Amino acid sequence: MPIKQNIVDIFRGEMISKEIIDTIFNDLENQLLDMREVVVDMKNISFISVYFLERLEKFLDKAKELNIQIKIVSVIPEIYKVFQIRKNQEILFSLN
């Protein structure tokens, strides 16, 4: 049972298909109990949908509940901007 898992090859290209995104995140969530740290390498992703962001948030919340550290690495600048915008929106919504 791995204590640390690097996730590189499962995220590729445009992450827009709900079926593929659900399959990937369901599999990852089922494996969380066996891990203490997960490194999500996003170097092969060229585009992410809002649905991908929602599933990623759910995955991060579940990992946090289980005290599992998640590191997201190799995010291309265009996608990093989406993460920044999303974070800022959440902060604004939490203030209202």
What are 23-81's pLDDT values in tens digits? 989 988 888 888 888 888 888 888 888 899 889 889 888 988 989 888 888 888 888 87
Number of domains in the chain: 1
Q: Record the pTM.
A: 0.76
Range of the structural domain that residue 36 is part of: 4-95
Count of CA atoms in the C-beta half-sphere (13 A) of 50: 2
Look at residue 32 in the predicted model and tell me its pLDDT.
Answer: 83
What is the structure's pLDDT at 95? 34
What the block records as the tokens of 71 is 């590191």
Burial of residue 10 (CB within 10 Å: 0-12, 13-18, 19+) is middle
Q: How far apart are CA 18 and CA 77, in angstroms?
A: 23
CATH code of residue 73:
3.30.750.24
